[in-house]
């Protein structure tokens, strides 16, 4: 069997423990991000119609159903996997936190701006998404501040 990573590139259990101990805030944030993305992926891949409707997205045909699986499920899975690999295989939970912040802030502020443009304030999903995403990015920024100020990231 051919290994993608050499033995020296794989993070040992001791090294992983040290990475986590030195980056507690970033590790907590990364775990939260990974759980969020993997759960989002699971629900959209397994039931795209039901969860698409919950997000005010409805396919017009079977290709649209596939697109919901791909863009809400597949991309969420890829983001969760990428952040987990960056943090725990390559040893950079702070970079995962920064990547999560970039993604979460971009989604939040795009949603906020276009909620005004599209007049989507009355939609049930918007009433849930804006406060939930806002709270999520506040928590991520707190983790970022702790990682920088307390842990010296």
**Is residue 62 in a domain?**
yes
The number of domains in the chain is 1
For residue 8, being part of any structural domain is answered with no
Residue 49 domain flag: yes
Does a structural domain hold residue 5?
no
Residue % of the chain over a pLDDT of 90: 70
pLDDT of 54 strictly over 80:
yes
Whether residue 4 lies inside any domain: the answer is no
Q: Is residue 1 part of a domain?
A: no
SS3 content of the chain, % helix, strand, coil (to 5): 80, 0, 20
Q: Is residue 2 part of a domain?
A: no
63's tokens: 């290709």
Per-residue pLDDT at 4? 47
Mean pLDDT score, 75-98: 93
Angle between helices 75-84 and 24-46 (to 10 degrees): 160
Q: What is the pLDDT of residue 15?
A: 73
Give CA separation, 124 vs 46, 127, 129, in Å.
Answer: 23, 5, 9
Q: How confident is the model at residue 9 (pLDDT cuts 50, 70, 90)?
A: low
Contact yes or no for 30/87 (Cβ under 8 A): yes
Q: Which residues form the domain of 64? A: 13-149
Say if 64 falls within a structural domain.
yes
């Amino acid at each position: 069997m051919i290994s993608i990573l050499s033995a020296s590139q794989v993070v040992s259990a001791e090294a992983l423990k040290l990475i986590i101990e030195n980056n507690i805030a970033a590790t907590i944030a990364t775990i939260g991000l990974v759980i969020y993305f993997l759960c989002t992926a699971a629900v959209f891949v397994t039931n795209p119609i039901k969860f698409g409707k919950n997000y005010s997205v409805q396919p017009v045909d079977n290709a649209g159903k596939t697109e919901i699986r791909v863009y809400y499920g597949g991309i969420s899975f890829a983001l969760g996997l990428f952040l987990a690999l960056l943090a725990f295989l390559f040893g950079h939970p702070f970079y995962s936190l920064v990547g999560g912040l970039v993604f979460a802030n971009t989604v939040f502020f795009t949603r906020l701006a276009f909620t005004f443009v599209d007049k989507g304030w009355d939609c049930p999903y918007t009433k849930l998404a804006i406060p939930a995403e806002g709270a999520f990015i506040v928590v991520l920024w707190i983790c970022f501040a702790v990682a920088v100020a307390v842990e010296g990231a």
